[in-house]
Each structure stands twice: as C-alpha cells, then as structure tokens.
Amino acid sequence: MDSQNTSDKLPVGVIGAGVFGTAVANLLAENRDVILYSRRPEVAENILVKRIHRGQKMSERIKPTSNIEELTSSCTLIFPVVSSSGFSEMIRTFSPYLRPDHILIHGTKGLDVRLKQGETLTEKTFLNRKMVRTMSEIILQETEVMRVGCLAGPNLASEIALGQPAASVIASRFDEVIREGQRALRSSRFQVFGNHDITGVELAGVLKNVIAIASGALSGLGYGENARALLISRGMVEMVHIGKLMGGDPKAFFGLAGVGDLIATCSSEKSRNFTVGFRLAKGEKIEDILSSMDEVAEGVNTVKVTNAFIHSAKTRAPMTETIYKCLFGGMTVKEGVDYLMNLPLGTDLDYFS
C-alpha cells in the first residue's frame, strides 16, 4: 500500500448540519479542515457569523457552505449525515457532482422504502428486501461512488459535543474506507473501530431505535431497571431476527454498533427515540410529539418499515408489532406491556438457530 501524505491536507466534507452532523464536523475538525454543507444558505451564513450552531460551538476549521460543488470538488472524503427521509433526495441532488474517487461514510440510521407513485406505507403494504434500502445501498445505486462506509455506534450528539470520551464503528467492505475514516475521525477522546459487515452494522444501528422507543415508554410508565434489562435483552433477540431476515450477519449486532448503541439509546433521556416513547407513555398523541420535535426520531419510521416487512415475510416480531400498535394503532403503552408480558414463553437465546 502506497503511503499517503496528501490526505491530511485535503479538507473533509460533511453533508447535513443537524445535531449529529454538527457534532461529526467538530470531531473531524480536530484533525482536518472541514467543509460543512447545509441545504439552506441562511444556516450556512448563520454558522459563519455566529460560530455556534445547534447548541454547539463550531471549530474555526469548519467552513460552512450551501454550494454542493464547493464541497465535492475540494473533498474526496465525505460524511453524509442527514435524516433518512431526506437521504435519497439529497444523494440524487449530489449525484451529478460525485466522482468515482469520492469516499462516502454516512451516519444515518434509517431505512428508505421505494413504493409505487402515490402509494403510502401502511401495515398492509407489501415490502420485500429489494424495496427496502439501507443508506449505503442508496449511495451505491444512485451514484458512481463505490467506496462506501457507515458510521455507527453509541454516539449521543450532546455528549460528543461536551467533549466526553466515546467510540464509533466505521463499517465498509473496503479497508481503505475504514482507514481513511479512522485517520480523519480518531482523536484522544474518540476511538474508531473497523468492521467489514456494512449491512449488519447499518441494520443494527437502524433496528435499535425501535427498542429505544419502547425503553422510553417503560420509563414513562415509571418502570425501573428490571423491566429495561428485560426489554434490552429480548429486544436484542428480535433485532437479530429481523436483521437476519434483511440479510445482516448476527455478529454485527453484538458489537459497539449493536449492543453498544442499544444500551446507550435505551438508557438515555437525551435520545430522541427514547423521548418519543416516554411522552407516548405519558399519554401524548404521536402527531403532537413529532410536530413538537426539532429533529427526526428515526425509530418512528423504522417501526413502520419493519412492521410491514415482517408481515410481508410472514413472520412475527412481537415487540415491533406492539410498538407499532402503540404508535399508530390506538393501543396504549400499558396495554402493550400487558400483551407482551402475557405472550407464551419462548427460549432465552436463539440467535444462531
């Protein structure tokens, strides 16, 4: 492998100036110059002037922009960090500017669904794996970029912003992507592990958000740690079950991006998905919760997708189904818990069956 010194001189790109995008930009800025893209010019302008955004102080090395070409022509390493609902549109907009030598490492934990025009996603919608895309699959299908990776792990943006120690996983089929990502992100307060199973890592990061909603709901009901431990460990079984159906290797679920992230999101009141569950248990309506939230809780869309997917695959996933009913089917959280507690017992561990 030829050594590369040029890489340290090139700036790194970040697409999306949400809470997590901003945190990632700040992390990168410890090593490199960063170009941070926001779709809205006023946001870029605001960052430039105030140097504070989403409650985070912005490093001097971060240059905000709303010009796509400025980012794609000066960076080869780019981190797209936008919500899954806007991801495919963003990628299509960027696609004409992306070249074969770009490396994209996304930090979005959601799924994209391709439906026929005019169709909306309900529990009756038939979904097969071809219709459900992970973010890396969107990049591969819509752009010339082949070197794709994903960033996943217990990375609560607010804690990272405070400079607390944390770690993440970069998953990619390519050693090169992992290496370049590590060089750009690693610092004394941020560890970066590599993993080759990008699908598994993406799915682990996506599916844990569903369990996080349930965890918030348990807290909302005033339940304690016994209930949460039950939820997390049984939730893990279900994540692996669905993950396998979607083509992920179970192993990824036991790493930092799986169980690590699951514990963090299920225990943190700072997590958006947790908050959704918490407020739901307090009796609020889902529409009201979502409309009052500043950023997207990915878990809500993920519940919709996985619920339709498991029905289409003619299998069961009781927790996901119950959470779906609590969110969209008029079931109360208390009823949901009672239903789950009265299910016939299964085996404790059946990951590898």
Quote the least distance from Cβ 69 to other proteins, whole Å: 14
The residue among 8 and 338 lying less far from other proteins, judged by its C-beta, is 8
Position among 76, 125, 199, 209 found at the interface with other proteins (CB under 8 A): 76
The residue among 2 and 60 lying less far from other proteins, judged by its C-beta, is 2
CA 105 – CA 178 distance, rounded (Å): 9
The residue among 99 and 189 lying less far from other proteins, judged by its C-beta, is 99
Bridge partners of 191, per DSSP, are: 167
Quote the least distance from Cβ 142 to other proteins, whole Å: 7
146 binds other proteins (CB under 8 A): yes
Position among 4, 73, 85, 93 found at the interface with other proteins (CB under 8 A): 4
Phi, psi of 151 (to 5 degrees): -110, 120
1 binds other proteins (CB under 8 A): yes
Long-range contact list for 132-137, CB < 8 A, 24+ apart? 132/246, 132/305, 132/309, 133/88, 134/199, 134/202, 134/203, 134/206, 135/80, 135/84, 135/87, 135/106, 135/108, 135/110, 135/202, 136/106, 136/198, 136/199, 136/202
The residue among 2 and 348 lying less far from other proteins, judged by its C-beta, is 2
The window from 95-103, 223-231, 268-276, 342-350 that contacts other proteins (CB under 8 A) reads: 95-103
Quote the least distance from Cβ 200 to other proteins, whole Å: 16
Q: Which of residues 197-236 bind other proteins (CB under 8 A)?
A: none
174 binds other proteins (CB under 8 A): yes
Position among 61, 173, 186, 282 found at the interface with other proteins (CB under 8 A): 173
Tell me, residue by residue from 100 to 119, as one string, x for binding to other proteins by CB under 8 A and - for no binding. xx-x----------------
The window from 142-150, 185-193, 286-294, 313-321 that contacts other proteins (CB under 8 A) reads: 142-150
Residues in Cβ contact with 193 at an 8 Å cutoff, skipping those fewer than 6 apart: 153, 167, 168, 169, 170, 255, 256
Position among 30, 70, 159, 176 found at the interface with other proteins (CB under 8 A): 176
Count of residues touching other proteins (by CB under 8 A): 25
The window from 58-66, 109-117, 140-148, 291-299 that contacts other proteins (CB under 8 A) reads: 140-148
Phi, psi of 103 (to 5 degrees): -115, 125
Candidates 63, 208, 304, 325; catalytic one: 208
Quote the least distance from Cβ 27 to other proteins, whole Å: 19
CA 280 – CA 57 distance, rounded (Å): 32
Quote the least distance from Cβ 144 to other proteins, whole Å: 5
Tell me, yes or no, if 208 is annotated catalytic.
Answer: yes
CA 315 – CA 211 distance, rounded (Å): 18
Phi, psi of 189 (to 5 degrees): -110, 5
The residue among 7 and 182 lying less far from other proteins, judged by its C-beta, is 7
| Cβ–Cβ < 8 Å for 23, 160 | yes
The window from 98-106, 203-211, 265-273, 309-317 that contacts other proteins (CB under 8 A) reads: 98-106
Position among 133, 147, 208, 279 found at the interface with other proteins (CB under 8 A): 147
| Cβ–Cβ < 8 Å for 266, 211 | yes
The window from 172-180, 201-209, 271-279, 287-295 that contacts other proteins (CB under 8 A) reads: 172-180
Known catalytic residues are 208
Which positions touch other proteins (CB under 8 A)? Answer: 1-2, 4, 6-7, 10, 76-77, 95-96, 99-101, 103, 141-144, 146-147, 173-176, 180
